[in-house]
Amino acid sequence: MIASILRVLLALVFLIFGGMKLFDAHAFVENVANFQISPFDSAPYDMWLAYFLPPLEVLVGVCLLTTFWLRGALVVSLGMILAFLVGIGSVWSRGLNIDCGCTGGNVSLGGYQTHMTILAIMLAASVYLVIDTLFASDETEG
């Protein structure tokens, strides 16, 4: 029951935020470059990441919601959340004041502390789901 609720909530976050970025991918390219993390701070790498990440987020959200390729989606979501934590932590520690682009510029999530808190909660949910799913017995898999 807890795993199902966490899975759906995590899916919705990836679907909503990934979907928002899909509508203005060009602006997201600028957001990616603003992180100033090599090599993604210059063309063509900023474009590659900006055009690759939102569809991946949506795909992971769909897989989490439908449980299709669930184990793979959980591992990818865990990797993305860790990467987001590193990225936000990096700009915060360097004192950069940027729009991270998490929501495609449509909604403000507040400062870096809010971002890190949300990502930490997502990380905890993802770790719980990975452990619950990867180590579940065949009888409990659905």
pLDDT band at 115 (very low <50, low <70, confident <90, very high): confident
Q: Answer yes or no: is pLDDT of 65 > 50.
A: yes
- Looking at every residue in the chain, the average pLDDT score rounds to 85
Among 7-16, 73-82, 112-121, 132-141, the range scoring the smallest mean pLDDT is 132-141
> Which own/partner contact pairs does 94-103 have at CB distance under 8 Å and 24+ positions apart?
94/36, 96/34, 96/35, 96/36, 98/31, 98/34, 98/35, 99/31, 99/34, 100/31, 100/35, 101/21, 101/27, 101/28, 101/30, 101/31, 101/32, 101/34, 102/17, 103/17, 103/20, 103/21
Angle formed at CA 27 by CA 91 and CA 107, multiple of 5 degrees = 70
Compute the distance between CA of residue 97 and CA of residue 23 in angstroms, rounded to an integer: 24
Among 85-99, 102-116, 120-134, the range scoring the smallest mean pLDDT is 102-116
Q: How far is CA 81 from the centre of its chain?
A: 5
Q: What pLDDT does 106 receive?
A: 57
Q: Answer yes or no: is pLDDT of 13 > 90.
A: yes
Q: What separation in angstroms does the CA of 44 have from each of 22, 26, 60, 91, 134?
A: 18, 13, 24, 21, 36
Question: And the tokens for 64?
Answer: 């989490």
Q: What pLDDT does 92 receive?
A: 87
Which is it for the CA torsion 75, 129, 107, 19, positive or negative?
positive
Segment 115-127 shows an average pLDDT of 93
Among 6-15, 18-27, 71-80, 97-106, the range scoring the smallest mean pLDDT is 97-106
Q: Answer yes or no: is pLDDT of 93 > 50.
A: yes
Q: Which of 119, 6, 82 is nearest to 110 (CA)?
A: 119
Q: Which of 21, 35, 6, 19 is nearest to 122 (CA)?
A: 6
Is the entire prediction scored with pTM above 0.95? Answer: no
